[in-house]
């Protein structure tokens, strides 16, 4: 049976360095070894893999990743934590590169070229809840070479990523995630697995990156403009949402005809359209 000594270890590190988790960085340190194993198993980390870890914190999961992967690149925004990781906690990990930077400002594609000869990496992260979507979409939209992203996120966000059309959780994030990847909910994680405890439940989700999008669309940027407009005001019909949206030149009649040609009601809302249907209406309009 695995012994979970991570709570005591975390408390020891925080006391040793007189550290307090910083709210501005969304720091909630994972302290459950069983959950860490679930994350690494879900990520399918192997001895030949290069892993990008976003937000290593005090290095709890980083140690496990270094034991499994060929190389780990850990990007941490907190300068104080980086100093501690390099000089003490992870100084014995020879297959580790630690970078003190905001992940949103890192040229990840260049990093992959340097550290993994341009071959796809696997991303693993315990993401601050307030910045989850910008990080995910930034990696997708820049077409960073990736096999997968295995993420600890707020449970509500995980539900939105993996939602089905017509459900309350289905939205613009769902459509974007399904365009770039296949979503798998690996585990639910209670708040007592973190220090300090967050006010919300968390979940582990794996996004397996697709080599090619599952739909063909003439102009992906236009499609995502339509998606954004459709979910910007969920209670509006698609007709009204698109007619009032900036950058989408179409009339109410144009949308009605497009929906009719697809076998949908003129009063349909965006939440009922699948990714395939958003691609089709984008092409028609």
The pLDDT > 70 percentage for the chain reads: 95
pTM, two decimal places? 0.89
Rounded average pLDDT over 11-36: 74
**CA distances in angstroms from 26 to 55, 57, 110, 132, 218, listed in the order given:** 10, 10, 26, 11, 39
More confident site: 220 or 24: 220
Structural domains of the chain sorted by starting position, each given as residue range(s) with its CATH number in brackets: 6-209 (3.40.50.150), 220-284 (1.10.8.100)
Q: Over 60: is that where the pLDDT of 10 sits?
A: yes
Q: With cut-offs at 50, 70 and 90, classify the pLDDT of residue 20.
A: low
Q: At 231, list the tokens.
A: 């979910």
| Cα of 172 vs its chain's centroid, Å | 14
Q: With cut-offs at 50, 70 and 90, classify the pLDDT of residue 1.
A: very low
- The model's pLDDT over 196-236, given as tens digits with 9 standing for 90+, comes to 777 889 999 999 999 999 999 999 999 999 999 999 887 88
Q: Over 90: is that where the pLDDT of 122 sits?
A: yes
């Amino acid at each position: 049976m695995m012994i979970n000594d991570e709570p005591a270890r975390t408390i020891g590190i925080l006391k040793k360095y007189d550290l307090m988790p910083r709210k501005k960085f969304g720091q909630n340190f994972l302290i459950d070894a069983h959950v860490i194993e679930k994350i690494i198993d879900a990520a399918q980390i192997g001895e030949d893999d290069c892993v990008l870890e976003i937000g290593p914190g005090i290095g709890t999961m980083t140690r496990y990743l270094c034991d499994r992967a060929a190389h780990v690149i850990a990007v941490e925004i907190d300068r104080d934590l980086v100093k501690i990781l390099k000089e003490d906690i992870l100084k014995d990990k020879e297959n580790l590169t630690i970078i003190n930077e905001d992940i949103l400002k890192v040229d990840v594609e260049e990093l992959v070229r340097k550290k993994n000869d341009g071959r796809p990496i696997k991303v693993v992260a315990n993401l601050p809840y307030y910045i989850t979507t910008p990080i995910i979409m930034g990696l997708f939209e820049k077409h960073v070479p990736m096999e997968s992203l295995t993420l600890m996120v707020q449970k509500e966000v995980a539900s939105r990523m993996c939602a089905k059309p017509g459900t309350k959780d289905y939205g613009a994030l769902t459509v974007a995630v399904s365009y770039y990847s296949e979503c798998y909910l690996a585990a639910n994680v209670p708040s007592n697995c973190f220090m300090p405890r967050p006010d919300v439940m968390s979940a582990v989700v794996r996004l397996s990156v697709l080599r090619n999008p599952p739909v063909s669309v003439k102009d992906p940027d236009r499609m995502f403009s339509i998606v954004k407009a459709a979910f910007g005001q969920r209670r509006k019909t698609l007709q009204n949402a698109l007619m009032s949206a900036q950058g989408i030149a179409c009339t109410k009649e144009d949308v009605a005809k497009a929906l009719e040609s697809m076998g949908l009601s003129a009063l349909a809302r965006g939440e009922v359209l699948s990714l395939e249907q958003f691609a089709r209406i984008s092409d028609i309009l």
